[in-house]
């Protein structure tokens, strides 16, 4: 029997699964975020070792198993892959290790044919694509300096900015000027400057709480919130379209996988805007919101890496044995 490990390491959490060659899940573990850009490579190694060893312990399978497929936020440039490959080798959970950006987990979870385009809007923003002939493209995902915008941190900060402009009169009226202070547990937005000076703003709260607040405000008809959602949709659509064009897939029925916490909970307006932007050029685009969480995508990638086709039998077995903690993610 062959065994594989799949790891989805993000900014806010890390998941690991062990399954057999037939898709039966036998071990699951979770830990904090593992992005080296936030916690350093030493911190990344501690988190990844813990989550891999915990998954192995719960599976009852002895290391090294056949393959580990590590889909990691922060795996963007050559030096990242060198460091992360060395970490996986030291952990020694698997005999063969493959290191990819976390976009590979979204691809694995969503692609039905092994190719297409994927965009993640979670705590951060990442994107990439694979052409039918195997050519790959991944944008660097290093934030505004490399052209990225649209992750939870970006959107949370923009919601805060728009709320403050509404409050002080530089922007249009918005319920966000009232709702944002409550979400941040401050009396009113007039206290924001003092909070900033004291470095008392919890940016994780800004990232995690303000985007859902945006969606709720838009659902109530708030024009400022609606306009921001349209901007987010245009950005995701533009990113996906650029990848499609650079891989020369405009004439194909491309699967566009939308992943990450923000896109999983996104209102129809956001998804429809993405679809409209891409469909203007790529008539055959198909929006995919994956059935499975990203870590299952990592498992599917791991199975493919050892030559196993991920067919409906495999998917059905994963479905039947997936741990409750991952259902609905």
Q: Are the CB atoms for 7 and 100 separated by under 8 Å?
A: no
Domain borders along the chain are 3-101+291-326, 110-290
pLDDT tens digits, one per residue of 188-245: 899 888 888 888 889 999 999 999 999 999 999 999 999 999 999 999 999 999 999 9
Q: Which residue has the tokens 């649209």?
A: 150
Q: Do domains 3-101+291-326 and 110-290 have the same CATH topology?
A: yes
Q: 329: how many CB neighbours lie within 10 A of its CB? A: 16
Q: 191: how many CB neighbours lie within 10 A of its CB? A: 13
Beta strands in 177-309 (DSSP E): 255-259, 286-288
Q: Tell me if residue 262 falls in helix, strand or coil.
A: helix
Q: Indicate the class that CATH gives domain 3-101+291-326.
A: alpha beta
Peptide bond into 307 cis (omega under 30): no
CATH of domain 110-290: 3.30.420.40
pLDDT at res. 324: 85
pLDDT tens digits, one per residue of 90-107: 999 999 999 999 999 999
Is the pTM for the entire model greater than 0.85?
A: yes
Mean pLDDT confidence for 134-155: 93
């Amino acid at each position: 029997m062959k065994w594989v490990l799949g790891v989805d390491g993000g900014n806010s959490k890390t998941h690991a699964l062990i399954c057999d060659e037939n898709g039966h899940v036998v071990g699951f573990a979770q830990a904090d975020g593992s992005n080296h850009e936030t916690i350093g490579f030493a911190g990344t190694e501690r988190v990844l070792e813990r989550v891999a060893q915990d998954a192995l312990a719960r599976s009852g399978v002895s290391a090294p198993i056949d393959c580990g497929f590590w889909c990691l936020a922060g795996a963007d440039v050559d030096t990242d892959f060198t460091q992360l490959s060395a970490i996986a080798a030291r952990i020694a959970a698997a005999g063969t290790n493959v290191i990819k950006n976390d976009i590979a987990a979204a691809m694995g979870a969503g692609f039905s044919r092994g190719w297409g385009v994927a965009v993640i809007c979670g705590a951060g923003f990442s994107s990439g694509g694979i052409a039918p002939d195997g050519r790959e493209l991944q944008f660097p995902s290093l934030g505004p300096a490399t052209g990225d915008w649209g992750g939870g941190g970006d959107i949370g900060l923009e919601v805060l900015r728009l709320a403050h402009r509404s409050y002080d009169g530089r922007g249009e009226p918005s319920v966000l000027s009232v709702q944002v202070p409550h979400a941040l547990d401050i009396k009113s937005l007039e206290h924001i400057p003092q909070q900033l000076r004291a470095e008392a703003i919890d940016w994780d709260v800004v990232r995690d709480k303000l985007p859902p607040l945006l969606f709720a405000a838009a659902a109530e008809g708030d024009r400022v919130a609606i306009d921001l959602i349209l901007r987010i949709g245009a950005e995701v659509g533009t990113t996906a379209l650029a990848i499609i064009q650079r891989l020369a897939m405009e004439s194909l029925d491309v699967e566009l996988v939308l992943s990450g916490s923000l896109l999983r909970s996104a209102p129809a307006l956001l998804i429809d805007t993405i679809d409209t932007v891409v469909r203007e050029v790529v008539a055959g685009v198909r929006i995919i919101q994956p059935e499975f969480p990203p870590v299952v995508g990592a498992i599917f990638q791991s199975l493919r890496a050892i030559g196993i086709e991920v067919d409906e039998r495999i998917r059905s077995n994963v479905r039947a044995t997936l741990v409750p903690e991952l259902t609905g993610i």
